[in-house]
Structure 1
Amino acid sequence: MIDLKQEILTALRSDPGLASVLGKDTSGKVKVYPETSPEAVADPYITFFELTNFDKSFADNIALKSEIHFQVDVWSKSNTSPIALHANRVMESLGFYRSGAADQFENATRTYHKVLRYKTTQLLGG
């Protein structure tokens, strides 16, 4: 199994385009969070999480690759597109390709929510 969470967090937080559109939270970090955001964070921000991670391509009953799916969520009170475009570029630079995208609106918080789903297949042990 390959764990890409820290690599994704570092790449999203260090992207100058995302830093400019998201800003920083009270701890001084670009507003990108694994799984959930802090309760008091102001929008816009990004959350992300791993959807699936499974072995693929076997030889002699040994997995050669991992197929990994991630979801990146953009949250904003206004247009999510500028943020989504930056996030998409970063994810593609990490070897992911976008397998889906959808616009949603969260009525309870009056927040726009862009769902971006990604997939990659990577060699194990290399």
Structure 2
Amino acid sequence: MINLKPKILQALESNQALVSLLGGKRIYQLVAPKPDEFPRVVFYEIDNKDGKFADDEAISSDIKIQVSVFSKGSTSAIAQEVDRTMKSLGFSRYASTDLYEEDTKVFHKPMRYKTSVMIEEE
């Protein structure tokens, strides 16, 4: 199994345009420490499974990641920077939607990405 989460976090935090839009490095894995901090980005691994096989051994991992943008206003500019960063890492976006969470009055844009990585590329 290949763990790309540290690489994703580093790439998102290195995107200065994204950090500027967020008002700081408000990029978290799985859970944001301050639930009332907006805007912010939260990401997590949806799936990480063996991909291709050779001689009965996995030679690649198929990885799916969800990156969510949470904001009190528009999510568009932040989402574009997230998308640019994820694509630079070799991910392709396969799903995206616009949501509004009535209970918290927050706009939420979940974006799902996938990639396949050869194990020796790790």
Question: Which runs of structure 2 are paired with 1:76-91 in the superposition (5 Å)?
Answer: 76-91=71-86
* d(CA) in 1 for partners of 2:106, 2:6: 27
Q: CA deviation at 1:125?
A: 2.0
Report SS of the residue matched to 1:51. Answer: strand
What number of residue pairs does the alignment pair up?
121
Which residue does the alignment assign to 2:56?
A: 61
Task: Tell me, yes or no, if structure 1 residue 21 matches structure 2 residue 21.
Answer: yes
Which residue does the alignment assign to 2:9?
A: 9
Gaps of 5+ in 1: 25-29
* d(CA) in 2 for partners of 1:13, 1:31: 8
Task: Tell me, yes or no, if structure 1 residue 70 matches structure 2 residue 71.
Answer: no
Alpha-carbon RMSD: 0.9
* d(CA) in 1 for partners of 2:34, 2:40: 12
User: Among 47, 58, 69, which residue is 1:52 paired with?
Assistant: 47
**Under a length normalisation based on structure 2, what TM-score does the superposition of the two structures give?**
0.96
Give me the identity figure in percent.
Answer: 42
Structure 1 runs (4+) deviating above 2 angstroms are: none
Q: CA deviation at 1:41?
A: 4.8
